[in-house]
Every structure is written in C-alpha cells, then in structure tokens.
Amino acid sequence: MRKLIGVIVVLAGLWAGWWYLGSGMVLRGLSTGIAARGDAGEIAREGFPLRLAAVARDVTLEDGTAIPVVRVGAPAWQPQSVRARITSPVTVPLPQGPLTVSFDLARARTDVALGAALTLERAEGVLDAVTLDLVEGRLAQAQRVTGDVVQLGETRYGFALRAEKLTPGSILRQALRLPDGFAQTFERFDANGEVTFDRALDRGALAVPSQPVRIDLDNATAVWGPVSLDLSAALDVDADGRASGQIVLSAERWRDMLALAERSGALPAQNRRQIEGVLGALAQGGDTLEIPIGVERGLMRMGFIPLGRLPDFRAP
C-alpha cells in the first residue's frame, strides 16, 4: 500500500511539474502577444490540473480596442491543439464613435506542429449570434460567422470565411434608403482563397508578424435581394503592403444595383444614364456584367478610369 501511495505521489508530482512548465509556456506566449500589441490589467495561469492555460483580463490594444477577457489554453495531454476564447462585448474605437461587438460565443482553435517553432497547421474560429452596434443604432448582425485557415505549403495558407444569415441593421438600410420590401438578410456571404507569407506563421509571428506577399482570392460572393456580386483577385504585395495585379468583379442584375446606388445617393441621378450606357456596352446588353480592374501599387483602375486605392496589406 505504501508503495502504491508512493507511486501516486511521484506521478502527481510529475504531472504538477508538467502542468507548471506547460502553463508557463502558454502564459509567456499570451504575455508576449499582448505586449506586442497592447496591455492587460492582469495575466495569470489557470486550468490546473487538466488544461495548460492562461487568462488575460482588461485587455486594451494599441488602437484602443478593449476586450474584457482573453483565455488561451490546451489540453494537458494535447498541447499542440490550442483553444482561445474572448468574452463579450468588445469595443472598437472608430472616428464616428465606438463600435460595440457583442456575441454569445467567440472561440478559436489552432493546431500547431510539435517543435520549438510551433508552426501553425490549421486554425478555425466561430462567432455565434454576433451584433455590431454604433451609438446611432444597429449596423449589422449575423447568426454565425466562421473562418478556417489551413497550411498548404511552408508559407502558403488557404482560407475560407462565411457569414450565416447576415442582416444589415437600421443604419445601413437607412443610409441606402432601402424600401420596406427589400430583403432583410443576405442569401449568401462568403469568401475563399490563399495567402502566401514571407515566412511561416509560427510563435515568432506573435512578436514580429509574418507579412503577406501574394493574395489569391478564388471567390468572394455576396447575394442580397437583387444584388449579386462575385469577386476574384490575383495580387502580389510588396514590402510596403501595396498590392499589384488584377481584380475581376462580376455582377448580375447590375441595373438594379444602379437603381439602388441612385436611391441611396451614392450615384447622382444626372450621371446614371451615362454610367448605365458604359456598363451596358461592357455587358453587351446582358444582365451579367464582368469588369476587370487593374491594380498597381494599391491604385485601382478600370481602363483609364481611376477607382481609388486598396488598403495596405501589412500586418501591424
């Protein structure tokens, strides 16, 4: 009996040592990640005895984004499978006032390769019952938002994003001056493609982020009432985060979209006939319009017509 008790004590001591070592690695990783982008009121270990975990409370990022609680951890017997959760609400400062992001659940899971680098192999995230609110009212809401990332090569990653039952709120509907009978919810809102980085996504990226060098957007689709848009792109990204390449925009029932733009005030009524004539020629009189858009160091052009600038693709 004494031998059995001795064995149990030894095993318990070894397990406690493993937990302390493993949770310390999680604690350092969370502390490093937050320190590189902001600050936290408290960071501590948690999860004994079955989870190697740490929690950060009152997290504030450099841009002022406030997150009440961030939890990161992994099962003690499967340390390469890391889970993360944040609590609602998250507040994001914007020029027009704070954006409040509320949700029932926000969780993520990452699987990393065993080794010192902890290279990302797969990640998935879920937001359930998410709402976006400004002081003036509801911006949008969705039943569920999901995202998946999978490693396809040493520095190449595939991604897929999807929003289920995405519903624009009163602010967007009023801004677009939509009639009462216009569809409430997007029938489809999703995207998938690949991103190549300058180096693999690993633990080093917590302190010095990996930067994209190539973006291939296979398809991004939005269907909302009469509005149906498809987008694809092949872009190279330079060291400054500026993209060059081509974007292809496809639109069905594009005349209905022009009417929507005119009603919202985005398209002056006196310009509609001219623009409709140009787009009609591109569509060859049909209901489907395909527009190639050239991009040079972030500047977009349709032929000789400037269309504005893409945001810089550079991680902070």
Q: What is d(CA 55, CA 304) in angstroms, rounded to the nearest whole number?
A: 53
Residue 222 has pLDDT above 80, yes or no: yes
- Average pLDDT value over all residues in the chain: 87
Least confident of 132-141, 206-215, 263-272: 263-272
Say whether pLDDT at 72 is over 70. yes
Q: What is the DSSP letter of 142?
A: E
Q: Residue 301: its pLDDT value, please?
A: 87
Specify the pLDDT at position 303.
76
pLDDT band per the 50, 70, 90 thresholds, residue 83: very high
Query: Residue 4's pLDDT is what?
Result: 67
CA 76, CA 162: separation in Å to the nearest integer? 31
Answer left, alpha or beta for residue 16, where phi above 0 means left and psi between -120 and 50 means alpha.
alpha
Of 41-45, 238-242, 279-283, minimum mean pLDDT range: 279-283
Secondary element (H or E) of residue 232: strand 227-237
Residues 88 and 78: beta-carbon distance below 8 Å? no
